[in-house]
């Protein structure tokens, strides 16, 4: 499978077509906060993101660990999902 072009927080990202949004975060070089989340089991909700699919007006929430990436998808994450770049 090829790469999917999408955006995370307005930043263009390319990720393998068969990966989850959470895997796309990691593929883009982001770092997850250690000890937060269920590590992809879909039970805690800490990876909840807002998603707008290509060609759709509506923004919906989804779990980043369970939702596969799609070409043209726009994703906005919650503050607690990823480590702040300026944190100490």
Ordered structural domains, the chain, with CATH: 3-77 (3.10.20.740)
- 59-63 average pLDDT score: 93
pLDDT for res 47: 86
Q: What's the DSSP call for residue 23?
A: H
The share of the chain scoring above pLDDT 70, in percent, equals: 81
- 48-53 average pLDDT score: 94
| Token pair in block for residue 77 | 């994450």
| Token pair in block for residue 70 | 């799609």
pLDDT for res 80: 46
pLDDT above 90 for 15: yes
pLDDT above 70 for 54: yes
pLDDT above 50 for 86: no
Which residues are bridge partners to 14 per DSSP? 5
């Amino acid at each position: 499978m090829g790469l999917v072009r999408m955006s995370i927080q307005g930043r263009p990202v390319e990720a393998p077509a068969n990966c989850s949004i959470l895997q796309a975060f990691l593929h883009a070089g982001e770092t997850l906060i250690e000890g937060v989340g269920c590590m992809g089991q879909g039970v805690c909700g800490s990876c909840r993101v807002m998603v707008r699919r290509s060609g759709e007006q509506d923004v919906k929430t989804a779990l980043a660990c369970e939702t596969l990436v799609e070409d043209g998808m726009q994703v906005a994450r919650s503050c607690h999902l990823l480590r702040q770049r300026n944190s100490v």
